[in-house]
Structure 1
C-alpha cells in the first residue's frame, strides 16, 4: 500500500511535501532473508548503535565523502533491494535516480529499544532522494521544520519503504526519540529490535586528500 502522507489524518499535523510511504513494500520471507544477509555481515560499533556501510563509508566526524571513502560495489542482495526500491518509487523520484544504479551508498542501522537518532537533515554531500527500508520492529519517526514550527509523526512499520525528496528531504528534520515505547492511535506499543537500510546517491564527492 502506498500513500502520500498529506492523506493521513489522526497523527498528522502538517505532512512534508515529498514524503511517500509504502507500508507493504516487502513480504515477510523477504524481510527474513534481508535480515539474515545483514546479520551475516560484520557490524561496526564506532557509534552508540551498530551500523554497516556499503558503497561509501560516511565519515561522521568530517561529515563529508571523498574518494578514499569508497569501499566497493554493493553485494548482490543489496543491489537487488536497491532495484526494488527504484521500481516502487514514483516518476518524480525515479527522475532523480538512475535505473541501472539507483543508489551509490547505503547504511544499515540497528536500533535496540531505547536507542534513537537526533533530529537532522541528511548532509548535502548526498543527493536529492533518500530511501529507507524498515525491518523488524515498527517505530515512530518524528519530522519537524524549524522555519515554520510544523511537525509530523510517521509510523514506520516493518517491511515498509519511506522515500524522501523535495521539501521532505531538504527542509524537514527527521529523528527517532530515544525511548522504549511509542504511542500510536491511542495505544502504547513496545519497541523491539529494528534494522533500517537507508539508500542515498552521492551529490558532492571531494577528491581524496594526499
Structure 2
C-alpha cells in the first residue's frame, strides 16, 4: 500500500480545530491521497465475507477484537489498517496511547445510524477516516431526565449542529463533543449545506449546495484501554 502522504503532529492539528463547535473537533480535509483512498477501498472489499456483519441501516467489519467491559480479547490488526492506526496515534489523539481497534462501516445512499454515544469502553476520543462519499454527521443534546421538563424531546428539538465529512478527510472528536453530545447520520440520499454545518468553511462545499451521496466507507479508529491478552488467557487454562 502507498505510504501516507502527510505527517501531522498535535501542534499542527490546532489549525484544523472547528471553533464553531463545542470542544473539541478537529477536521482535516485530504488527510489521505486519492491513491490511498482507492487502495483502502480495495482492501475493505477484499476482506473475507465472514468479516461483514449486517446491521439495520449499514454493514460493518470489526478489527482488533470485540470491546467488552471485562476487557477486549485483542487481535492483531492487518497491515493495511496498522499503517493508519500508527499515523493517527502519532498525533497523540489518544493521549500517547496507540489505537488498537477499527470499525469499518459501509453506508449506502439512504442509510444512516440513529443518534448515539460511543460509550465508556473506549478512550474518550474517536477518529474517523472517510472514503468514497461525503456525509453530514449530526449532533444532538442528550435527552434531559429532569422530571420538570414537560415539552417533547424530539430529535429536531435536541439538534445542535452538523459536520460535513468529506472523502479522504480525518475527523477527531474529543472532550464534550465525545462525552456529552450524541451523533448520528440521517437516512438521506443527499446532504444540504446550511448555516448549521459548523465546519463548512473548511470544506469544498458552499452554503446552499446539495450534495448527492454515494456509498461511503468509514474507518473508525479508537483506543480500547482494557485489553485481555489471548496468550495469557490460554496460559491460564492449561
Question: Bigger shift: 140-149 or 105-114?
Answer: 140-149
Change (3 A) 1:114 1:150: closer
Aligned position for 1:195: 217
Shift, 1:39, TM fit:
0.8
Residues 16, 152 of structure 1: 8 Å contact kept: no
1:170 & 1:206 partners in 2: Cα distance? 25
* Alignment TM-score, normalising by the size of structure 2: 0.72
Q: Quick check: 1:125–1:205 contact (8 Å CA) kept in 2?
A: no
Q: CA separation in 1, counterparts of 2:30 and 2:54? A: 32
Q: 2 CA distance for matches of 1:127 and 1:76? A: 22
Match of 1:120 among 102, 109, 116: 116
Q: CA RMSD in A?
A: 2.5
Indicate the residue corresponding to 1:16 in structure 2: 22
Moved >6 Å (runs of 4+):
none
How far off its partner does 1:173 sit?
A: 0.9
Residue by residue, what CA displacement relative to the aligned partner does 1:126-175 show, whole Å, maximum 9, x if unpaired?
A: 11221111000001000122369561110000000011111111001111
1:131 aligns with 2:155: no
Greater strand percent: which structure?
1
Unaligned runs of 5+ in 2: 1-12, 145-156, 194-206
The aligned residue for residue 39 of structure 1 is 45
The aligned residue for residue 84 of structure 1 is 87
Distance 1:40 1:150 in 2: 38
Query: In the aligned structure 1, how far is the partner of 2:123 from the partner of 2:179?
Result: 10
Q: Which has the larger radius of gyration?
A: 2
1:70 Cα deviation after fit: 2.6
Structure 1: distance between partners of 2:75 and 2:64:
5
| Structure 1, gaps ≥5 residues long | 8-14, 59-63
Distance 1:56 1:27, change over 3 A: same
Given that 2:74 and 2:227 are in contact with CA atoms closer than 8 Å, whether structure 1 keeps it comes out as no
Higher helix residue share: 2
Shift of 1:74: 0.4
On the 8 A contact 1:19/1:168 being kept in 2, the answer is yes
Question: How many residues align structurally?
Answer: 189
